[in-house]
A and B are shown apart, each in its own frame.
Chain A
Amino acid sequence: MKAPPLEQSPELVSLRRVLDESAAVPVLLFFATGVLWLLAGTVFGLLTSLKFDMPDWLAAIPALTFGRLRPAHLNAVNYGWASLAGAGCLLWLTSRLCMTPVRLRGGLIASVILWNLGVLYGTGAVLLGYGGSVEWLEYPLPAAAMIGAAFLLFAASILQTFRMRSVQHLYVSLWYTVACVVWFPFLYVAANLPIYSGVVHGAVNWWYGHNALAVWFTPIGLALAYYFIPKVIGRPIYSYYLSLLGFWSFALFYNWNGIHHLVGGPVPNWLQTISIIASVLMVIPVMAVAVNHHLTTVGHFRHLRSSPTLRFTVFGAMCYTAVSFQGSLESLRGMQEVVHFTHYTVGHAHLGVYAFLTMILFGAMYYITPRVARWNWPHPGLIKLHFWLTAGGISIYVIAMCTGGILQGYAMNESVRPFAQVIDLTRPWLIARSASGILITGGHLVFAYLFAQMLIHAGPRRETAPWEEAAA
């Protein structure tokens, strides 16, 4: 695709080179360790799933019992993979959008090290039986403190780079980036304070669990989608005003959603109700983003074929719309009566953190890595394979878990059905989920292989130098 001539001016090309060089070391460190956690987390996840199908397999090893593998999976993929890869993407993005080199790079190196030690300590602790049993907050306090400190170093770098910006215009992606590095530390500290008990602790748990998505993961995904969709297609975002409406309604409504995880539980009714209302109001920011992204893409679908970045990003952006509408519906009392406590919730969670966020992270990494590693992706065929294994895998995953979950929910709500029948009913869906997990694992192995080749500059040298182009 021919990029607009302005984008290709020699000054801009050499400025971009300076920016990418400033970002290279920290970004590659965040990416590389993120990919390692992706692999570890995938293994934990696949084992967790297989445990449902074969409960007597590896049953005598305490560290590999279901109840430890599951939180190890959740924490490794969220605080390891998605957070590290997301942080790397945001660093590069901030430098590009502020047109200034990445600042506080020494602090970033310390941040990566501390972050990884925190995740290693925390995940090890969970596997060895020292997990806290509070979903999303299982890590022991020292591990959480390490991750918190690492996050502050990362946030300081983003804010300092932002302060030194040499541009007037603040693009939408920057709003989300700056907001999330300010939001997350407050959230993480407030939730990890060891002062709660009883039902209030339950409320804090889900205020946090949902907000980890609201103020950290979703802003990453949206910042990247807002950047890469117009960038790759080569036309501006459809509407600036929609972006503005999307951002502020997102900021207002999303962090009131958490208590919809406790609908029907022993928390005050009014509290459940306001969370349900806020969840429904999420339709506003989601529509704003969906319309904006879709109207930017429409008529340019041919780029999906040539650009892996766009293919992953558009898949992710579509899943954002899907998961958000699903979430608004799911929070309603009638729906919660059936699907709360079932595998449906797990399907929904993966539609969010995987089909939306992780796919967008893959897309962004396909764009960023060649520019910071100064090497082109070898084997375009393998990139396609990676896409189809993960996109196919996660689609099967979500369909299996949501269908199985609905059946499970209805069966559980038929009081005459013995519980054993409910278990039998879910079995085939859980097997389908394990099969999808094998596809996804395959996709991750392909991606890790490609990424390793980029780091060591292996594979066939391809002619075009991507960092000289405006578009992928």
Chain B
Amino acid sequence: MDVRSGGNTDVRWCPTCGSDLSGPAGFVTEYWKAKDRWFLTWCSRCRTTTQVCLPHRITATEPEH
């Protein structure tokens, strides 16, 4: 798997208010946790920080039963 996304961050819109984050002021930074791609965003319009995960696989934990 090529982990380099070549400047294309895939996350473009503020998850909270929908503002366009693609301009120079839109803060989107990508990092990796195992096989999952994570994006941290900061929106200057609604001033919210969010984390978005593009998961390799959806996992859940089951309580004891």
Q: Does A pair with B?
A: no
Interfacial residues, chain B to chain A (CB-CB below 8 A):
none
Interfacial residues, chain A to chain B (CB-CB below 8 A):
none
